[in-house]
Structure 1
Amino acid sequence: MGFRTGDFPPVDTTTFLDEPLRERIKALAVHWVEYGFGTPRQVHVVYVVKLLVLYIGIGTALATWTSGVGPFWAVGEWWNEPIVYQKLVLWTMFLEALGLAGSWGPLAGKFKPMTGGVLFWARPGTIRLRPWKRVPLTSGDRRTAADVVLYLGFLAAMLVAIVLPGVPGAGLAHGAAGLVNPALLIAPIALVVLCGLRDKTLFIAARGEQYLPAMVFFAFLPFVDMIIALKLLIVSVWVGAGVSKFGRHFTNVVPPMVSNTPFWPPRWLKRAHYRNFPHDLRPSKLATFMAHVGGTLVEIATPLVLLLSTNRWLTSAGVVLMVLFHLFITSTFPLAVPLEWNVLFAYAAVFLFLGFPAGTGYGLGDMSSPWLTAGIVAGLVLFPVLGNLRPDLVSFLPSMRQYAGNWASALWAFAPGAEEKLNSIAHRPTANQLDQLLAMGYPAPAAEITMQQTIAWRSMHSQGRGLFSVLLDSLPDLDQRTVREAEFVCNSLIGFNFGDGHLHDESLIRAVQSRVGFAPGELVVVWVESQPIHSGIQRYQVIDAALGVVERGSWKVADAVAEQPWLPNGPIPRDVSWRRAGGLLSVRESGAADPAMGSSA
């Protein structure tokens, strides 16, 4: 891989796209093992510069300068100043909500322009996805001028809280700069909730499941209680993510994630994460060790030690381990690119557990009321517990299932020429990713192969093998269709993607259909829900954009993880629980729609 030249798959661009889909997936999956996306290193340097300059540089300078501490390069003078931590949390949330942090740039499918976020959410007429139908005043799927006002008001309120100086804090034992004025946090708390009730994309993009509780603690708790509550918050995120890694999915996440790491490790070590490269691309014993010792065990045990330890050296060792944990994730440049989030969590580990150790009055027993402790714990574990038991009810982010590999996912299969219809959507500030690459000077075959690398990446994960199995059984003409990873399609339609299939479920398909009007069979989507923690299956739907849901069923996760990405033995077994009039083909002929979804045609 060069600095300006990527590692393109070693295929004949004049013939490759004529090969059967499974042969293309095999070639691209084998290439992924050693090169990942094959992105030129200059792209990763852009991310590093953004992280160092926009996030760390400007963010730290703003937080320290407006708080009367610093200067920002004198870390020893402000690293344990509570107001600096508060403002860095707010700065991170501001950048996330603006679209300049996670899910930004080419690695997230944003080629030209490299930003989604504000380009969509500050523009009336774009697609809006309400989270709950029963909430009054949220009907429809079009962003209104009022939605834009709410969104811009939230951004403005966040900036005000960041730039104004601090005030004395109740119970603040040290910290000459005080705390962010609690009164300034009421508006952003209220506005992010209102924005989220109108559009779930905005709430998820702003990482409301983590930063909203932090803002509530900033606004309403006295200092000691606030610090302990913040410890409980970060521990709930770590432990929740660790628990979600139980099962068969996460082992399949580590090899392709390591393969996509740009600056290290060497190719031989990337290959070692697979059983027998290039013939068997299932995870090796090394990958299993990395997943469940370096991942699951570290993410559960270490935070609990940090929360309970009163030993300085044990606490310091735990902090170092969690800092290294987040730096490792940052170094892999995961496709959702949550780099700022990982840096913040590394700093939070230092600030909370070294700056305010449990043995110096900031332990669980030091909270003002055991009932307050119990209430905060119950509130923090509610959505992780519910989301693991009923993933259909909770996004994987409030469920704290980051990087678990157990995600709601989908593949979109377009009839020849049908994908181009998406470019007719009014008010959409981007074109399809294929057209973005063409506009950047990619030859058409190279642009298409680049996009197909994303479906090869999906095939290396457990749910990908199930999704392709259903497509292969449902569409005899699959080799002639354009198959797209739903995360990338979703990104170009609503300005954000982060691995959450709830952002491109039936509601998005219905919104797209109302604007495009696909004919029956032109767009077929296979969508699968996350696996409940107590179940061994994943439930899927086959959706025709024009006709609605035409099939429901499930597959065993054990069958999915046992197969190769390219399904050499054919589709994995599945249990069809419901099929409309004999299946997709008969529905396409009859035009019958599923009343559970309705028709927008």
Structure 2
Amino acid sequence: MGFKTGDFPPVDQETFLEKPLMERTKALALHWVEYGFGTPKMIHTIYVFKVLFLYVLGGTALATWTSDAGPFWDVMAWWNQPVVYQKLVLWTVFLETLGVAGSWGPIAGKFKPMTGGILFWARPGTIRLRPWKRVPFTSGDRRTVADVLLYLAFLASLLIAIALPGASSGSLTDALPENTSGLVRPALLIAPIVLYVLNGLRDKTVFLAGRGEQYLPALVFFAVLPFTDMIVAAKLLICVIWVGAGMSKFGLHFTNVVAPMISNSPCVPSKRVKRLHYRDFPRDIRPSKVSSFMAHVGGTTVEVITPLVLLFSTNHWLTLAGVLLMVAFHLFITSAFPLAVPLEWNLLFAYLSVFLFLGFPAQDGYGVGDMSSPWLAAGIAAALLFFPVLGNLRPDLVSFLPSMRQYAGNWASALWVFAPGAEEKLNALPHRPTRNQVDQLQAMGYPPAVAEITMQQTLGWRSMHSQGRGLFSVLLKNIPDVDQRTVREAEFACNSLIGFNFGDGHLHNIDLINAVQSRVGFAPGEWIVVWVESQAIHRGIQHYQVIDAALGVIERGTWKVADAVEEQPWLPNGPIPLDVVWALRQPSTAPAAQPTVAEGLAP
């Protein structure tokens, strides 16, 4: 790929869109193997400058200049200062919640504008998705002025905690007598903690965008624990995150993640290296043994064993080796520019690896056994493990982020299918600060066919993952005229409606569909969604739904994950086996113009 020119799929733009869906999907999946999204390197450069100047330099300068721990260019003067660590966490939360960190820019499907976040969440009338319907005072799906004020107050409370100087702490002085920078004042953390929770109860999108499942516990530790307990609790937190992510990579999904991620990496220019991750390109693009090794040795093993070594090691050299391995792990993920682009998160975790385990090693009194009470350590560990355990057993109840299944391939996912011309109705959504992504690309000067093929590349990407084979199978079974319809990858499409996406299908489940339907009003058959839940850790199946925006759920069923991963992305043998457990009979009043949508739904 060039600096300004990307690697567009080598297809005939005049005829490609007339081909059958799975033929298009095959062409785009094969192109992905060698080029990924084909993004111009200029786009990656924009991300590098954003991270370097806004996050690394800007965040470090702000944290050090407000903490008597500078100058920021003298890393040895501040890298192990607790107040700098606290403020870098707060700065990360601020940028994530503002919408300029993860899920930002063109790689995440945000073209014009490149920011979601604040453009949606500071605007009354936009869609709000509450996490639990039984929580009082959270009814409705419309963002109110009160929601906007809660959101802006949260941002302001974070900035205040960052900007004000640290305060002395008796527990810090006992542990580090020479420290003069202090800690963030606990009183300043009360407002961010409370507002984190209130915003999350009103809108799960804001909470997940701010990575509340990880940073909220850290803020609580900052506010209520004495210094040594705070450090050890932070170690427990980061190890639960690492080990949880590693455990979630057991199974059949993750191997299917690594190869497409490597293919999309601008730091792997060699087509030969990319092809090594597939069995027999172009005939068989299921993951190869190389991909499996990368997934389960370079990924699963590192994420499970290394954190446990770091948590309990009292040997400096062993700890140093573990820290270097985790730093390299996070830098590798950063270099791959995964589609959710969690670059700031990965850089923070690389820094936390150094700060927590080299700055405050277990042999210096910062081991699990050094907490003020073994019951405190056990209680914190149990609290941190609650949502990962529940989320892996009941993925329908917990987002994959609190479940600690980051980039494990086991996601709730969906495909959206529109009747000809029906997608344009989304542009009538009131208070929405964006248009459909295909329209964003055309507004940037892309011809209509190029814009459409660009968006369909995400279908090729989805087909290379385990859920893709199942979702396409459900489409082919239920919508015989799918070749004449517009198909969208829901993870990308939903961010133009709610301002955020991170691979979590819970952000575009039936709640979002109903919210859009109540505002726009699709006719039966105009907008069909095939949606699948994550696989429970103890089951070999995934549960899917077929949803008509006008009619609701019209089919439920399951497929075996083993069947999905054994097929090629373009399903040359036809749909994988599906077990339909319930289906809505075709309504007698269904419009005659849409008979194919519900065909085969009668039990």
Alignment TM class, shorter chain as reference: over 0.9
The CA deviation at 1:585 is 10
Given candidates 536, 539, 544, the residue that maps to 1:535 is 539
Q: Which amino acid aligns with 2:4?
A: R
Match of 1:53 in 2: 53
Q: Which amino acid aligns with 1:417?
A: G
Q: Residue 133 and residue 81 in structure 1: after superposition, are their counterparts in 2 closer, same or farther (change >3 A)? A: same
Say whether 1:562 aligns with 2:579: no
Separation (CA, whole Å) in 2 of partners of 1:576 and 1:588:
24
Separation (CA, whole Å) in 2 of partners of 1:550 and 1:306:
50
Say whether 1:276 aligns with 2:286: no
Given candidates 569, 574, 578, the residue that maps to 2:578 is 574
Q: Deviations over 1:256-296 (max 9, x none)?
A: 00000013241100000000001101000000000000000
Match of 1:189 in 2: 193
Match of 2:306 in 1: 302
Q: Deviations over 1:539-595 (max 9, x none)?
A: 00000000000000000000000000000000000100000116x999666999xxx
Contact persistence 2:412–2:505 (CA under 8 A): yes
Separation (CA, whole Å) in 2 of partners of 1:465 and 1:586:
32
Q: Which amino acid aligns with 2:524?
A: P
TM-score (norm 1): 0.97
Contact persistence 1:93–1:211 (CA under 8 A): yes
Q: Deviations over 1:222-279 (max 9, x none)?
A: 0000000000000000000000001000000000000000132411000000000011
**Number of residue pairs aligned between Structure 1 and Structure 2:** 591
SS at 1:581 equivalent: coil
Moved over 3 A (4+): 584-592
Contact persistence 1:408–1:502 (CA under 8 A): yes
Q: Which amino acid aligns with 2:13?
A: T
SS at 1:543 equivalent: strand
Q: Which amino acid aligns with 1:162?
A: I
Separation (CA, whole Å) in 2 of partners of 1:240 and 1:263:
27
Q: Which amino acid aligns with 1:52?
A: L
The CA deviation at 1:168 is 1.1
Q: Deviations over 1:453-509 (max 9, x none)?
A: 001100000000000000000001100000000011110000000000000000000
SS at 1:171 equivalent: helix
The CA deviation at 1:170 is 3.5
Say whether 1:27 aligns with 2:27: yes
Q: Deviations over 1:433-467 (max 9, x none)?
A: 00000000000000000000001100000000000
Separation (CA, whole Å) in 1 of partners of 2:515 and 2:31:
36
Contact persistence 1:130–1:199 (CA under 8 A): yes
Match of 2:87 in 1: 87
Separation (CA, whole Å) in 1 of partners of 2:166 and 2:443:
47
Match of 1:440 in 2: 444
Contact persistence 1:547–1:591 (CA under 8 A): no
Say whether 1:514 aligns with 2:518: yes
Matches within 5 A, 1:98-247: 98-172=98-172, 173-174=175-176, 175-247=179-251
SS at 1:570 equivalent: coil
Identity of aligned residues (%): 75
Separation (CA, whole Å) in 2 of partners of 1:512 and 1:350:
45
Separation (CA, whole Å) in 2 of partners of 1:437 and 1:241:
35
Q: Which amino acid aligns with 1:155?
A: L
Say whether 1:388 aligns with 2:411: no
Separation (CA, whole Å) in 2 of partners of 1:591 and 1:194:
43
Contact persistence 2:129–2:202 (CA under 8 A): yes
Separation (CA, whole Å) in 1 of partners of 2:48 and 2:2:
17
Contact persistence 2:525–2:594 (CA under 8 A): no
SS at 1:12 equivalent: coil
Separation (CA, whole Å) in 1 of partners of 2:90 and 2:590:
50
The CA deviation at 1:176 is 2.0
Q: Which amino acid aligns with 2:245?
A: A
In terms of mean alpha carbon deviation, does 459-468 or 174-183 score higher?
174-183
Q: Alpha carbon RMSD of aligned pairs, Å?
A: 1.3
The CA deviation at 1:169 is 2.0
Q: Deviations over 1:346-405 (max 9, x none)?
A: 000000000000011000100000110010000000000000000000000000000100
Q: Residue 324 and residue 459 in structure 1: after superposition, are their counterparts in 2 closer, same or farther (change >3 A)? A: same
Given candidates 318, 321, 324, the residue that maps to 1:317 is 321
Q: Deviations over 1:318-341 (max 9, x none)?
A: 000000000000000000000000
Separation (CA, whole Å) in 1 of partners of 2:588 and 2:288:
40
Matches within 5 A, 1:368-387: 368-387=372-391
Match of 1:260 in 2: 264
Match of 1:420 in 2: 424
Q: Which amino acid aligns with 1:296?
A: T
Q: Deviations over 1:286-326 (max 9, x none)?
A: 00000000000000000000000000000000000000000
Contact persistence 2:418–2:486 (CA under 8 A): yes
SS at 1:253 equivalent: helix
Contact persistence 2:559–2:579 (CA under 8 A): yes
Q: Deviations over 1:84-142 (max 9, x none)?
A: 00000000000000000000000000000000000000000000001111111111100
Q: Which amino acid aligns with 1:336?
A: A
Listed as ranges, the gaps of 5+ residues in structure 2 are 596-603
Matches within 5 A, 1:486-525: 486-525=490-529
Contact persistence 1:129–1:507 (CA under 8 A): yes
The CA deviation at 1:69 is 1.2
TM-score (norm 2): 0.97
Separation (CA, whole Å) in 2 of partners of 1:287 and 1:254:
6
SS at 1:463 equivalent: helix
Matches within 5 A, 1:399-478: 399-478=403-482
In terms of mean alpha carbon deviation, does 260-269 or 279-288 score higher?
260-269
Separation (CA, whole Å) in 1 of partners of 2:385 and 2:588:
44
Separation (CA, whole Å) in 2 of partners of 1:183 and 1:589:
64
Given candidates 234, 249, 252, the residue that maps to 1:248 is 252
Q: Which amino acid aligns with 1:234?
A: I
Match of 2:601 in 1: none
Match of 1:595 in 2: none
Separation (CA, whole Å) in 2 of partners of 1:400 and 1:331:
21
Separation (CA, whole Å) in 1 of partners of 2:566 and 2:156:
50
Separation (CA, whole Å) in 1 of partners of 2:224 and 2:344:
26
Listed as ranges, the gaps of 5+ residues in structure 1 are 593-601
Match of 1:63 in 2: 63
Q: Which amino acid aligns with 2:382?
A: A
Matches within 5 A, 1:329-344: 329-344=333-348
Q: Which amino acid aligns with 1:122?
A: A
Q: Which amino acid aligns with 2:407?
A: Y
